[in-house]
Structure 1
Amino acid sequence: MTVNAVRLNHAVLFVADLERSIAFYQQAFDMGVAARELRVNAAFLRLPRSGNHHDLGLFGVGAQSARPRGSLGLYHLAWQVDTIEELEEARFTLANLDALTGESSHGATKSVYAHDPDGNEFEVMWMLPRASWGEFENAALVERLDLPGEVRRWAGVRTAAELVPLDAS
Structure 2
Amino acid sequence: MSISPVRLNHAVLVVADLDRSVRFYTEVFNMELSSREPQLNAAFLRLPRSGNHHDLGLMGLAGATPPPARSVGLYHLGWQLDTIEELVELREILINAGAFTGESSHGATKSVYGSDPDGHGFEVMWMLPREAWGKYENAAVVEELDLRGEVAAWSGRRTAGEIVHESAVAPESTSRTA
1:3, CA displacement in angstroms? 2.1
1:2, CA displacement in angstroms? 2.0
What is the number of residues matched between the two proteins?
163
Choose between structure 1 and 2 for higher RCO, CA contacts under 8 A separated by at least 6 residues. Answer: 2
- Aligned-residue CA RMSD (Å): 1.2
- The answer to whether the 8 A contact 1:78-1:124 is kept is yes
Does the alignment pair 1:16 with 2:11?
Answer: no
Label 1:113 to 1:42 Cα distance change in 2 as closer, same or farther (>3 A): same
* TM-score, structure 1 normalization: 0.94
Extract structure 1 runs of 4+ deviating beyond 3 A: none
1:6, CA displacement in angstroms? 1.1
Q: Give the aligned partner of residue 110 of structure 1.
A: 110
1:18 aligned partner, one-letter code:
L
Q: Any idea what SS the aligned residue of 2:13 has?
A: strand
CA distance in 2, matches of 1:64, 1:39: 18
Q: Give the aligned partner of residue 75 of structure 2.
A: 75
CA-to-partner distance for each residue in 1:56-111, whole Å, 9 max, x for gaps?
A: 00000012232122210100000000000001111000000000000000000000
1:129 aligned partner, one-letter code:
P
Gaps (5+ residues) in structure 2?
A: 164-178
Q: Give the aligned partner of residue 138 of structure 1.
A: 138
1:162, CA displacement in angstroms? 7.0
Written as runs of structure 1 = structure 2, the 5 A alignment for 1:3-82 is 3-82=3-82
CA distance in 2, matches of 1:2, 1:128: 30
CA distance in 2, matches of 1:48, 1:32: 7
Q: Any idea what SS the aligned residue of 1:25 has?
A: helix
1:30 aligned partner, one-letter code:
N
CA distance in 1, matches of 2:29, 2:10: 15
1:149, CA displacement in angstroms? 0.7
- The answer to whether the 8 A contact 1:130-1:162 is kept is no
Percent identity, please. 65
